[in-house]
Chain A
């Protein structure tokens, strides 16, 4: 939020202006993009976040471990389970335990459903950023409903589940869940084909997004991109594969990558990832083992530290948890994916020519979430 101070804003050259996209703007969300432009060409971009900073790291230091899960979910309301999963993973590392296999499979199912929900939303916004009048956004919003219903059936909530807890999950799969899930997967696969047909393969959409906001492979690594933004630049990296958690080690899936690194590739990676997620859910439902779903843990974690990573829909979230043997964490450092991705757009005008109309396209191709970045 600090950029707003008048005395710190430097003078611009003749013919340039600084346009503030946000915090009150049709696309901005709870943040601000400051664009230096002459009307069409963009010379500089600055991201201004912090409008929804809640100090979640400090909040966690003052809550017992299990109570930390609820405030954590407020980071990304669309994608709550991977974030809690990351905290839980760090705690399980501290405790030195692993959840029972059945719990791991249930976790995988929730995580992948959350990924699909989040990706549909991201793609809807991405379509809107290329001025697809809300049509696609409304379609995707309607089509994620079956998965929301499934999650409600399983966890009792549509958005904030608080379902993944240290040592397992809160409840077992309800009756009829499997059949309903297979039905939803079948429905959603058909819808995805429709999206690919009508929109991803659409000529004008390609014209708008191809070669826009290209992040080369080396720059993506150097700047620390995360998730689909990183994989679209040709880096084959997915925490699910490289540092497996839940049941991912036992499931068969592949990492989706693209080499071009432009906005279109980032959108395409998301679409293909949804197909992969559907496959993963199917496999997990078919191979789910029987057994207990929860292991009880003491309230106090042993002293030590853990760095846990989990692949959220927006990319990898990392949590560094330090325990001093009490029932509350001593320090939690969260490095969310949006915080890493959102600043990529600041670097882009320095390496390529951008147009003013490209700013929203690139911004939403990175799928940023200001609340995620602010914490």
Chain B
């Protein structure tokens, strides 16, 4: 199955839900989707051979008041790296967890929850992982996190 076919299938199935579909270079695929249907799209993508999660995270864009949440999936069949992206509101940072789709994203989502403050709905184990036990200074990877040792 070529990527054109995949794009066609995706657009047929989800219509406006697929915002962007790009192949920036060899072995890369970037799909940007609507946040509300990210789980269904993930299921669909998994059925089409993208089976191995290799990364997940989020980028903070305070100017646009959004988080760009991404999952990176490798396909053992197509030998492709897929970056699945979606935008969510910065004030209400909630997104469906994809742990049910790809078991391996659990640790990445847990980490992003801790460092970026994104609430993954349906994640089985949102517990602190990297930061100290008594951490209460906010989310370090957000752009408004102050690196100064003097807290106001």
Contacts and interface: CB of A to CB of B under 8 A. Distances in A.
Does A touch B (CB under 8 Å) in the complex?
yes
Contact of B81 (A5, A55, A309, A374): A309
Interface residues of B, number: 39
Given A2-B131, A58-B141, A320-B57, A222 B76 contact: no
Given A307-B72, A318-B54, A335 B127 contact: no
A186 B59 CA distance: 48
A316 interface: yes
Interface stretch (A155-163, A235-243, A266-274): A235-243
B135 to A, nearest CB: 9
A336 to B, nearest CB: 10
A261 to B, nearest CB: 15
A14 B81 CA distance: 47
Interface-centre pick from A4, A333, A374 (highest chain B CB count, 10 A): A333
Given A1-B133, A223-B104, A235 B76 contact: yes
A58 B147 contact: yes
A1 B131 contact: yes
A340 interface: yes
Contacts of B103: 222-224, 347
Contact of B141 (A57, A224, A318): A57
B41 interface: no
B96 interface: no
Contacts of B60: 331
B22 to A, nearest CB: 11
A322 B105 CA distance: 21
B51 A222 contact: yes
Contacts, number: 99
A257 B132 CA distance: 39
Given A2-B129, A50-B129, A242 B55 contact: no
Nearest to B25: A93
Nearest to A342: B107
Given A62-B147, A222-B104, A243 B76 contact: no
B87 to A, nearest CB: 14
A335 B56 CA distance: 8
Contact of B51 (A1, A8, A221, A347): A221
A298 B140 CA distance: 29
Interface-centre pick from A224, A316, A339, A340 (highest chain B CB count, 10 A): A224
Contacts of B25: 93
Contacts of B59: 322, 330-331, 333
A296 to B, nearest CB: 23
A280 interface: no
A333 B81 CA distance: 15
A221 B53 CA distance: 8
B127 A2 contact: yes
Contact of A335 (B28, B72, B79, B141): B72
B102 interface: yes
A1 B130 CA distance: 6
B19 to A, nearest CB: 16
Interface in A339-375: 339-340, 343, 347, 374-375
B70 interface: yes
B48 interface: no
B140 A55 contact: yes
Contacts of A93: 25
Interface of B: 25, 27-28, 51-57, 59-60, 70, 72, 74, 76, 79, 81, 83, 102-108, 111, 115, 127-133, 140-141, 145, 147
29 contacts: A1-B129, A1-B130, A1-B133, A50-B128, A50-B132, A53-B131, A57-B141, A58-B141, A93-B25, A222-B104, A224-B103, A224-B105, A226-B54, A235-B76, A242-B79, A309-B54, A316-B54, A318-B54, A318-B55, A320-B72, A320-B83, A333-B55, A333-B59, A333-B70, A335-B55, A339-B107, A340-B107, A343-B106, A347-B103
Those 5 A-B pairs whose CB atoms lie nearest each other, nearest first: A2-B128, A224-B104, A335-B55, A50-B130, A333-B57
